[in-house]
Amino acid sequence: MKEHYISIINNLYAACDCDALIISSPSDTLYLTGYTSSDIIIVIDSNSRYIFTDKRYTTELSALLGDVYEIVDGNIGDIYKHLRGLKRIGIDEDISYSQFLLTVNTFNDYTYDGKSDTRLLIPIHSVISKIRAVKSECEIKAIERSQSITDSAFKEIKHYIKRGVSEIEIAARLDYLINSMGARTAFDTIVAFGENTACPHAHPSFRQLKDGEFVTMDFGAKLNGYCSDMTRTLAFGSADAEMRKVYDSVLRANIIGISALRAGKSGCDVDKEARDYLTSCGYGEFFTHSLGHSVGIDIHEEPVLSARNSKPLLSGTVITIEPGVYIPGKFGVRIEDMLKITEEGAYNLTKSSKSLIIIDGN
């Protein structure tokens, strides 16, 4: 593990082109340490690596990462003073207000515009995001383990989908299943029935399940710091012709999106292929969000599959394909898989079936 962290730290330091880096966003510090805490600050300069924290964490961090970082129980203000002589300081802009005040007061003669030849504070969040977009093999394995919990929860939840159950009960059960397998939930679980499935991000309510309705569940586990994300739409009791037509169209768009995905292709082109298909089915106006987003330590990472991303996708990125059709007042369908992008295409990390499942209401 030591080599893994030293290598990503060195990559980041080289990519930022700064004399020192100050990193405090919990997602970024987790990426650079494997350790989850919102109370650590990492400082990297040309010959040292420090973790600033307090006594709650020093013993554990020293045991885990003492050979990678110098673990310091101290005031970040002291290291800020130490850094003051340096010309280019990279700073993670996702900081608290108190840290912001400390930063602007300590580095009061620094500028931010990037043009000045004087001392500079340089935002580095976008550089870190770019590096984090390409996952290492051990990150991919962590995401796969997380997704296998999500797949297992899906297998189990079908037994609880019964007439009269509420959206909240199913959401709570999914959360319990994920927690009981040793993971946290990656985000607030979405469960919607009937007309509520027409809201892409519906909040679970006490609405009870009736026959002939769709059930949409969008959920994921977070294990060892890495998220998974999956959506499945099932029918309860029966599905009429219109429901089947929409389901088949969304499933086909999901498969088209997955076939289009490969390294070198742009995010907007992949989005367009799936979107064009839904438009040809007459559902273009009902597909109201982008086709997918990257997943890793955060549930929504860059890059995305949308009209606004014309950049080529990179091998090693983990990304969702989640077309949806939402017909207000009626119902909606979304089918979401999570994939690893490779040079040849995409490898599906989601193992749950996508064929329309109709749960027997008897």
Binding region for Zn ion (CB under 5 A): 218, 229, 231, 320, 336
Query: Which of residues 72 and 221 has its CB atom nearest to Zn ion in the complex?
Result: 221
Buried b / exposed e along 267-296 (16+ C-beta atoms within 10 A):
bbbbbbbbbebbeebebeebbeebbbbbbb
Beta-carbon count within 10 A of 155 CB:
12
| Residue 38 φ/ψ region, left for φ over 0, alpha for ψ in the -120 to 50 degree band, beta for the rest | alpha
Query: Which of residues 90 and 220 has its CB atom nearest to Zn ion in the complex?
Result: 220
User: Which SS3 state, helix, strand or coil, does residue 62 take?
Assistant: helix
Query: Which of residues 25 and 320 has its CB atom nearest to Zn ion in the complex?
Result: 320
Q: How far is the CB of 186 from Zn ion (least distance, A)?
A: 9
Query: Which of residues 213 and 229 has its CB atom nearest to Zn ion in the complex?
Result: 229
Q: How far is the CB of 333 from Zn ion (least distance, A)?
A: 14
Q: What sign does the dihedral 107-110-111-112 (CA atoms) show?
A: negative
Q: How far is the CB of 86 from Zn ion (least distance, A)?
A: 40
Beta-carbon count within 10 A of 358 CB:
15
Nearest to 312 by CA among 343, 275, 278: 343
Query: Which of residues 161 and 221 has its CB atom nearest to Zn ion in the complex?
Result: 221
Q: How far is the CB of 217 from Zn ion (least distance, A)?
A: 9
Q: How far is the CB of 296 from Zn ion (least distance, A)?
A: 12
Torsions phi, psi of 332, nearest 5? -140, 160
Q: How far is the CB of 270 from Zn ion (least distance, A)?
A: 15
Query: Which of residues 57 and 347 has its CB atom nearest to Zn ion in the complex?
Result: 347
